[in-house]
Structure 1
């Protein structure tokens, strides 16, 4: 491959994109770093299909901490996890058919002392003890009560004292602002129940808050879809950091790279290298080592608009199987 051809490929996909061929099959294609879905629920999907579908690593944002701690750390997919949802009495997702009791913890006390029953610190400590890389909490005013500010602050402070990021499910009027005021680091979904003004988005970007996309879950709900897309486009344009995430397990969708999610991100302004960055960001420390890589067979996409569909052909391969073209 000539330098001009390599430059064209990397202009579309970023400097990590390299032409290559598979040693065993001889197929030519493009290699990229491992792809990560930053919002899944492993207990709701067949995770063994992920690698063939192009996903090497996942962030589980609501599962049984005991079962997650028992995982083989070097298995596929590579997993980082939050453990159980933290919520208030009768708060979301209690009672949802997809959320067994093992994946939910009730926090009823703002105590930051260890061992207090129902205490903020107790709930955080439990998830951390079982190997959580982050803490997930629910701020869903559409489907029940949410934490009062002191309890919310105690959860966030307790997590930060342990070096753990806090991710929040925000849904309902005022929930994005509540999360921002409390110092929540990441939103599990692009806000979809309220259009955020430019001042709030600027505050979120200035605070280094990150958003997980999950745009495709709103198929069939035109209001939620339009709201989420408007918010994400404004957040990205303001310099916000966005992670590719699908809420996989929510609805009947393919297990692997979801092209509709990528197309929605593209439409919101994350194009080319920015789209690849959203797919390959290792937050919050997903251990996708250099031993594995993404491979997309065939020629590179012809134009930037072709990239989302082209990425749907991704699969996970051992890095040692790829022979990179000389240039």
Structure 2
């Protein structure tokens, strides 16, 4: 048992961490004065708000500093199976008796064997990764819109929508699969985009199912249009153009931005524009969420140091950076527990807490 300082998502708190039935559990409680204090601080597993698990070897997430990911574009049947496979891992780290044993269909042209394994296979390999998976399901896009013409888009990962009836059907399909949000493609640089009326229809249908809309907004004016039409998150910090201060203020009051700054080359005009937009958006009180577009090129499967460095360049540091990483609540028994050297430490120094830490 050790006294511990932990991050609850907003600030630092005091608590006690103990080993109970083979699991480390944290509870918020004032420790006795003579209780030894754990060196460093405790945070929950971080969140990557923009990933594409069908494009990476998701098993590499095991043991990373990520405790949760949000997939923003995948075959809904496949990604729902991934989410179930993670959900049914017991907090002790072994598959529960109720875990699904049926394997998901293998993604089209996927290089890695990413289908969930049978219970016996999982037992042989100890456990699958325990990272929680939330998802949007398929991209909703106009006929011929992005990413329908992209070779990297897995089979079944987009739905081409021509009218409101098709939009209603697609939203219902994603909701029934277990989606936590709806992804709308609004990329005017790569093809057609929805009319205002059809975009609003998707937002209204999603809202009726309790699902926010995340928009891939790219092209002149698309970020402003997506926000005006009811999207509550942008899948990428705007990089097509520099938003003026009034546009920044309006965005800060209505939407959250998922960063994805590191998808742009370090010295590119797109990155310079995106970092500048994020700096002013954050200064205006806008909510910036850590996200990497994992799977877009050779991105790390885990915490991305380049993304963190870009966020710091945009003035998001210390506690604000931790909030952007949206760590799980470490008081939740199902959360990944991470140990950091200190409250102002670089998040890349976070590592999973082990029972040996309580003995040091």
TM-score class normalised by the smaller sequence? 0.7 to 0.9
1:110-155, Cα deviation, whole Å (9 max, x unpaired): 24xxxxxxx2111111100111010001000011010011111100
Please identify, of 77-86 and 40-49, the stretch whose mean Cα deviation from structure 2 is larger. Answer: 40-49
RMSD between aligned residues? 3.1
In the alignment, the residues of structure 1 paired with residue 132 and residue 253 of structure 2 have an alpha-carbon distance, to the nearest angstrom, of 31
1:150-203, Cα deviation, whole Å (9 max, x unpaired): 111100110011110000001100101110110100000000111111111111
Match of 1:252 in 2: 298
State how 1:195-210 maps to structure 2 within 5 Å: 195-207=242-254, 209-210=255-256
Kindly indicate whether residue 258 of structure 2 is the aligned counterpart of residue 216 of structure 1. Answer: no
The secondary structure found in structure 2 opposite 1:257 is coil
Kindly indicate whether residue 88 of structure 2 is the aligned counterpart of residue 74 of structure 1. Answer: yes
Match of 1:114 in 2: none
In the alignment, the residues of structure 1 paired with residue 295 and residue 14 of structure 2 have an alpha-carbon distance, to the nearest angstrom, of 30
In the alignment, the residues of structure 2 paired with residue 142 and residue 151 of structure 1 have an alpha-carbon distance, to the nearest angstrom, of 19
TM-score (norm 2): 0.75
Kindly indicate whether residue 342 of structure 2 is the aligned counterpart of residue 300 of structure 1. Answer: yes
**Deviation of 1:14 (Å):** 3.9
Match of 2:162 among 108, 111, 118: 108
Kindly indicate whether residue 150 of structure 2 is the aligned counterpart of residue 96 of structure 1. Answer: yes
Match of 2:141 among 87, 101, 105: 87
State how 1:38-53 maps to structure 2 within 5 Å: 38-53=49-64
Match of 1:171 among 218, 238, 252: 218
Considering Cα pairs closer than 8 Å and 6+ residues apart, tell me whether 1 or 2 has the greater RCO: 1
Match of 1:313 in 2: 349
In the alignment, the residues of structure 1 paired with residue 74 and residue 13 of structure 2 have an alpha-carbon distance, to the nearest angstrom, of 33
In the alignment, the residues of structure 2 paired with residue 219 and residue 16 of structure 1 have an alpha-carbon distance, to the nearest angstrom, of 38
Which stretches in structure 2 are left out of the alignment for 5+ residues?
A: 24-37, 90-129
State how 1:131-142 maps to structure 2 within 5 Å: 131-142=178-189
1:31-60, Cα deviation, whole Å (9 max, x unpaired): 112211110000011222223221111000
Question: Retained in 2: the 8 A contact 1:36–1:58?
Answer: yes
Which stretches in structure 1 are left out of the alignment for 5+ residues?
A: 112-118
- Equivalences, count: 297
In the alignment, the residues of structure 1 paired with residue 235 and residue 330 of structure 2 have an alpha-carbon distance, to the nearest angstrom, of 20
1:216-275, Cα deviation, whole Å (9 max, x unpaired): 110256100001001101110000011110000111122111111111112212111111
Question: Retained in 2: the 8 A contact 1:86–1:137?
Answer: yes
